[in-house]
Chains A and B, each alone.
Chain A
């Protein structure tokens, strides 16, 4: 849903800022992933997706499945920016009884479609949702947001085969390719390249874009949504961990970025100095 008068760059900036404020509550968190994926989420929620902020369970909505449960902080930030979650709950992030637990769960959070976190589940669920939407003659799309690490799971490729076999043109898979996993760089864990060619060989319409380039992202979303055949679509988004906060970008990046207590304020101050229109 396109919301007038606020640029996507500003949306991405706000998502980064919400995420930093949440991470500051706990003093730590998956902030590298959230900053890296902010542009992708801005393009998703404020360009591509059809949803009603005041009715997150609206039947006509595009389904957005977050397979990567630990990216919850990023999706909460997007849902806050979209008006689905209230901004004044940022201080509860990760606390007991919060609606925003560390790992995303459907039962806790409006707008969180599935319980992710056991990785490699999202795409298979998206196949089922895609089949169901088609059976219900519901024109909505189902999006599955996953990470490059999840390309290691066999279940991802089982689902990729099923999506193509069942001609699920209503399925759009988003791969956040930040080349970072728990133990190190994804390419050193289990190389998945050439990812786009693998998806193509599985019968998908594949695009690979700079995931921090909002124009490239919106163009890719448009192409995926308007494609005239029934291939499932994948957008592989190369992103930079910690994007938008240079002193964190330059840090030796890990799955779990260590940030000193006083640095949260510096990170937010840096963002505030670069607020887009």
Chain B
């Protein structure tokens, strides 16, 4: 909480009666994109048809992580662990020890904050193939800090052995699910759930674990983005193009291990290097890119688009994305400002 919030709780509010700006608006603003329902759940079912080792676990959140699709298709391979995240990840480790590939789902806050030690010791330290797939990453809910996992990447980047994926859209979620199912180690994947926009599909994109890929080219600035911020960057690029500002968008869904080779080459050639992430400015993609640049002696003009180092407000997502400068409009303003 912020101190101003603590003070203002004794100040009366007035109902405006205007259009709902409700915290219930949970979907991403993604105008102009087709959406796909539950891409993770459907992809996992498809993969599991030919891979009997895949099992699913959830801590009372199957419906909210799209794992219910798998639970309905494979009831014998689905384990409801109740509202007990530590127990779930320990059990996932046990299943993995015996040769299974568990996909364990909950919200990102509960995996990163509550179950961290269990994920660290039972899963990561033993490099077991548990796939931790978590909804509500970063700022994707208006429920306030109890549900907003704004620091999950920072927390998990510190874990050796753990691969971290922040996919952009429905296409990438489906492709990445297949890739992590095939990979031998532990993975943390951020999840967009429900009706998920399809941004990269029409571009002919193919996810590759550990690879950053250009999804747009332009000479005025290079934006390295992950998660839905790649969608935002592409949308901002269209607005900026109308002003004759051309930006590159380098999509880097694998946060760890970072594709330093591609990113450093892009950084060395960039007029302005911008990182864009749905995460606190501390410890995520931006600092990972900055660290790689510093270590390798690459020194571009560098800016970060990220959430502030604060506990964020509750409210409607569109309001919050504007307020915390991760909407398309806010991205355009920031990039334009840095270039002029």
Contacts and interface: CB of A to CB of B under 8 A. Distances in A.
B12 A118 contact: no
B193 to A, nearest CB: 13
A116 to B, nearest CB: 7
Contacts of A101: 23, 143-144, 314-315
A225 to B, nearest CB: 29
A152 interface: yes
Contacts of B314: 98, 101-103, 105, 108
B13 A106 contact: no
A89 B9 CA distance: 12
Contact of B316 (A25, A96, A118, A190): A96
B117 interface: no
A128 interface: no
Interface string B116-159: 00000000000000000000000000111111000000000000
B317 to A, nearest CB: 11
A110 B9 contact: yes
B22 interface: yes
A103 B81 contact: no
A201 interface: no
Contact of B83 (A106, A108, A149): A149
A92 B68 CA distance: 34
Contact of A188 (B5, B80, B316): B80
Contact of A92 (B5, B8, B15): B15
Contacts of B319: 96
Contacts of B291: none
A125 to B, nearest CB: 13
Contacts of A29: 24
Contacts of A86: 12
Nearest to B14: A92
A181 B63 CA distance: 11
Contacts of A117: 143-144, 146-147
Taking each of A94, A115, A181, which has the highest tally of chain B beta carbons within 10 Å of its own beta carbon?
Answer: A94
Interface stretch (B93-101, B106-114, B160-168, B259-267): B106-114
A153 B1 contact: no
A206 interface: no
A181 B83 CA distance: 9
A182 B60 contact: yes
B113 A26 contact: no
Nearest to A100: B13
Interface string A79-109: 0000000101111101111110111011111
A183 B63 contact: yes
A109 B15 CA distance: 16
Contacts of B87: 154
B1 A94 contact: no
Interface residues of B, number: 48
A interface secondary structure, majority: loop
Given A108-B314, A149-B60, A189 B1 contact: no
B80 A88 contact: no
B84 A108 contact: no
Interface in B282-340: 313-316, 319
A39 interface: no
Interface in B56-115: 58-64, 68, 80-84, 86-87, 109-110, 113-114
A153 B114 CA distance: 11
A89 B13 contact: yes
B22 A95 contact: yes
Nearest to B146: A117
A250 to B, nearest CB: 22
Given A103-B144, A118-B146, A91 B61 contact: no
Contact of A118 (B14, B62, B82, B114): B114
A119 interface: yes
A120 B319 CA distance: 30
B83 A118 contact: no
A276 to B, nearest CB: 28
B1 A115 contact: yes
Given A94-B24, A190-B80, A107 B9 contact: yes
A161 B134 CA distance: 31
A153 B6 CA distance: 29
Contacts of A124: none
A178 to B, nearest CB: 14
A176 interface: no
A105 B1 CA distance: 9
A86 B14 CA distance: 10
Interface string A44-79: 000000000000000000000000010000000000
A94 B86 CA distance: 31
B21 interface: yes
Contacts of B5: 107-108
12 contacts: A25-B15, A88-B15, A92-B13, A95-B15, A95-B22, A101-B23, A101-B314, A108-B9, A115-B146, A117-B143, A119-B83, A190-B83
Interface of B: 1-2, 5-6, 8-10, 12-17, 20-24, 58-64, 68, 80-84, 86-87, 109-110, 113-114, 142-147, 313-316, 319
The 10 closest A-B pairs by CB, nearest first: A190-B82, A91-B15, A117-B146, A107-B1, A101-B314, A152-B82, A152-B83, A96-B315, A102-B23, A107-B5
